[in-house]
Amino acid sequence: MKNIVKTFAILFLSVTYSCNAQQLVETPNDANKLKINEQQFINKTLNNLLKEIKPEIKFAYGTTEYPSFFSFRFISSEEQKQHKIGRKLIGLYVYVKEPLDWKFEQRPKGKEYQWTKEDLEKYGNLTVIRIKVIERIED
């Protein structure tokens, strides 16, 4: 009986761990899953949401107005300038409760739109209040 309980406990823990290991957003096209599962992230930290995103965020911008929000993209500003008909552009907008201290002019020259580890440390504990995903096809 003890062996059966141990076996089920190990099986349960391994299944639970493997289910949690996969991120919600595996590709940029999965960004809508964040909106669908928005309630899972509301009143949680930005860090919590960003852990669920596997693709690299290549463009980030913070808006300091009320409500404050971050705009994230999975393509860089250089890639965006290269107009490609039929390409899907995905914008992820994450609104936060606290005011942002995002000073564009104080960001490193040439890297103003890059999301960095320093940004994650500085803004990771902000509270998510809304998620918006906008998709558009270039024409």
Mean pLDDT of all residues in 39-44: 98
State mean pLDDT over 50-54: 97
pTM greater than 0.75 = yes
Helices (H), 22-126: 32-36, 46-50, 77-81, 117-123
pLDDT higher than threshold 80 for residue 7: no
Q: What is residue 4's predicted lDDT score, i.e. its pLDDT?
A: 65
The whole-angstrom separation of Cα 60 and Cα 81 is 15
Let me know: does 77 contact 115? Beta carbons within 8 Å: no
Rounded Cα distance between 8 and 20, Å, is 18
What torsion, rounded to 10 degrees, do the Cα atoms 51, 56, 59, 64 define? 10
pLDDT at 13 over 90: no
Tens-place pLDDT, residues 69-122: 999 999 998 888 888 888 899 999 999 999 999 988 999 888 899 999 999 999
Q: What pLDDT score was predicted for residue 59? A: 95
All structural domains of the chain with their residue ranges: 24-137
**pLDDT number for residue 138:** 85
